Homo-oligomer: A and B are copies of this chain.
Amino acid sequence: MNDLIHALQDLLGAHQVLTGDDVRQRAVSWFDHSPNQAGAIIRPASTEEVAQALSLCHEAGISIVPMGGLTGVVDGVRATPNQIGLSLERLTGIEPIDVDSRTLTVEAGVPLQKVHEIAEEHGLHFPVDLGARGSCTIGGMASTNAGGNEVLRYGMMREQILGLEAVLADGRVVSNLRPLMKNNTGYDLKQLFIGSEGTLGIVTRVTLKLRPLHHSLSTAWVAVDEFANLSRLLRQLERQLGGRLSAFEVMWRDHAELMAGDDSPHTLPLEDKAPYYVLIQAANYHESESATFEAALETAFEQNLITDAAVASSQAQQAKMWAIRDDIERLTKKLAPYAAFDISLPIKHMEPYVDTLKSELTAQWPAAKLIVFGHLGDGNLHIFINVGDAMDDSNRHAIESIVYSPLQHVSGSISAEHGIGLEKKAYLALSRSETEIALMWQLKQALDPMGVLNPGVIFD
């Protein structure tokens, strides 16, 4: 390890190879503030430096843990003393935007928010958005195939990536940054690196597809009296709003009440209680389209799909509605100690799934609290569970088993948008078959036979 560190210092400059306290001063991630345990953290400034550094690590047989914005939530960037942390923080280059092709090429360390800003300056829109926008980086979002609020309309991060450059385990650079919507010239290699959590290559640069920027947004908070009406409402709104429906966020009543309860800065937009609330958003490209939005809600009301609705009349009111949905800080504070989940399953299975979950939890812990909300339009639910007792390994595993096991039988997924990391790998077989995992392993062996890239993440 010492020889490698010296070689890396020669390559990058001593200042760009952090060791000892300089490493320990850094936290593992935004969700684990304990001191980073990496043997060293290197900070290359270019793809070429990343490539040379990987080549040195590969020769030394020392493994690499890539570090982006550290906002992932599945424990995917935990380095040990015999590993090197590879921070992409100095890869912040941004190429001039191509407005004609609606594309933007940026290096891995560029934060999401910067991409939003550049796009908007040019009358364009980058449609992946999530709470960590100021910290999460494009490289990390590509490596984890990030999701967020507008997947219903635009798809995940994977769908926004036209070109990608990555460094392989042995230091070879694989690059195809052509800003093309269509390019059927052999295998689409970028797909290997998207969502593989840094285990097949280090993403260093990405060409992103941008979209037309909207003129305004229409936002409403509606009440729905039964589950079946949620999916009817969703499909009805899609039919009337076409591709403009960009969010359909459902909150089960317990969630909404927790968010707006005692000492809360939030107030629910509707007074009457309902079992489900939906935060609906559509993009308008023409003044007349906000009227279409209201007409669609009117239709839903006439068809008894919603029992009440509040339409935001200003951007401030829109922000207030979103704050109820997005205030994860309040949620986690109120609910601690909790176990949190990010699952997906076909909408038709959701109601019985949540019912079963509730009854199994309360059978075991009568005071259990189950908080459910999420991007219903994408089949994605976020679930927070408090069982009263402290959250030790034993009851955490029991809860995980209750949440994950039924998903296997309803074509569900144990990780909708967060990934597997170290945290969920014990449950991978609930979502992927033996043959699939064997094939995944074959790919890992083909691309990283020495196992130097983020080993232990996803699978062993």
Contact = CB atoms under 8 A, between A and B. Distances in A.
A394 interface: no
Contacts of A182: 147, 151, 156, 344, 375, 378-380, 413, 416-417
| Most B CB within 10 A of own CB, among A212, A344, A431 | A212
Contacts of A267: none
A433 interface: yes
Interface in A396-425: 411-420, 424
A451 to B, nearest CB: 15
Contacts of A174: 433, 435-436, 439
B194 A212 contact: no
B176 A436 contact: yes
A412 to B, nearest CB: 7
15 contacts: A98-B346, A100-B231, A101-B379, A155-B181, A177-B411, A182-B344, A182-B380, A183-B344, A187-B192, A189-B439, A189-B440, A239-B285, A242-B283, A242-B284, A446-B446
A153 B155 CA distance: 12
B348 A418 contact: no
A199 to B, nearest CB: 8
A211 B235 CA distance: 10
Nearest to A188: B195
Contact of A187 (B231, B283, B440): B440
Interface residues of A, number: 103
Contacts of A348: 98, 100-101
Contacts of A431: 178, 183, 185-186
A4 B435 CA distance: 26
A177 B443 CA distance: 20
Q: How many copies does the complex hold?
A: 2
| Most B CB within 10 A of own CB, among A144, A380, A443, A445 | A443
Given A159-B159, A379-B101, A428 B177 contact: no
A242 B239 contact: no
Interface of A: 98-103, 123, 144-145, 147, 151-153, 155-156, 158-159, 168, 172-189, 191-192, 194-196, 200, 211-215, 231, 235, 238-244, 283-286, 288-289, 291-292, 295, 344-348, 375, 377-380, 411-420, 424, 428, 431-433, 435-440, 442-443, 445-447, 458-459
Given A186-B420, A212-B238, A379 B180 contact: yes
A413 B180 contact: yes
Nearest to A183: B413
Contact of A144 (B100, B184, B239, B292): B184
Contacts of A173: 435
Contacts of A239: 123, 212-213, 215, 285
A178 B407 CA distance: 11
Nearest to A185: B431
Given A100-B231, A100-B347, A159-B155, A417 B184 contact: yes
Given A180-B416, A346-B98, A428 B186 contact: yes
